[in-house]
Chain A
């Protein structure tokens, strides 16, 4: 069975600083990887995904994540954060054996201050 570890429960940063939110996964088979975001008082929404091909994937709002198979990681990065990026970020994994359940990490709360 798959599992996801997000070691940082909260990451405080200043506006315009770079940020990295860590995600490590465990699985005995090949996986698909995802980052979801939950803005304050809103529902969860997909931020970006890795299914195959290029190991570096990007979102429309400047986040990127890199799939590293050897380190079983899928860290989320942004070179310069905005106040509006304040949210909870969840990493998730699904194995590649057809439609399978999506397992989420415990989330990382990103707090961006001026």
Chain B
């Protein structure tokens, strides 16, 4: 499809397990973002990739969170040793024009 694709759409895991969330951006989009959406918290910026530049990781909440973007395309967000407070919807977006982000449907993570 032509949009941003995220997988899995839903993930239920046990506390302490590692999870990987995948994002396929729109082809040709140079910028890729990860956000986290929790009830009452709005959209929390996590990490931003722009072309071949070093990513802006300033939003990652702890060193349990990491992300990579391979070949300037697909991105994976990894959460190690998940905690209950990590439960949220993780949104990926890609962009070619300043501020015009195209969002995926999100990956809903539930940590039991």
A interface residues with partner B (beta carbon < 8 Å): 6, 9, 32, 34, 36, 43-46, 49, 51, 90, 92, 94, 99-107
Query: Assuming A99-B31, A101-B33, is B99 touching A94 (CB within 8 A)?
Result: yes
Query: B65 near A: Cβ within 8 Å?
Result: no
Asked whether, in the complex, the Cβ of A99 is within 8 Å of the Cβ of B98, the reply is yes
Asked whether, in the complex, the Cβ of B100 is within 8 Å of the Cβ of A49, the reply is yes
Contacts of A32 in B (CB 8 A): 98-99
From residue B55, how far is it (CB to closest CB) to chain A in Å? 10
A73 to B57, CA, bound (A): 27
Asked whether, in the complex, the Cβ of A43 is within 8 Å of the Cβ of B100, the reply is no
Asked whether, in the complex, the Cβ of B99 is within 8 Å of the Cβ of A92, the reply is yes
From B40, B48, B104, B105, contact of A101 by CB (8 A): B48
Q: Could you list 15 examples of A-B contacts with CB < 8 Å?
A: A9-B40, A44-B43, A49-B100, A51-B99, A99-B30, A100-B48, A101-B45, A101-B48, A101-B56, A101-B59, A102-B99, A104-B42, A104-B43, A106-B40, A106-B41
Other than A32-B98, A94-B98, A104-B45, give 5 A-B pairs with Cβ distance below 8 A. Answer: A44-B93, A44-B101, A45-B103, A90-B42, A106-B42
Contacts of A92 in B (CB 8 A): 99
A90 to B13, CA, bound (A): 30
From B30, B42, B104, contact of A105 by CB (8 A): B42
Binary contact track B39-51/A, C-beta < 8 Å → 1, others 0: 0111101001010
Asked whether, in the complex, the Cβ of B45 is within 8 Å of the Cβ of A103, the reply is yes
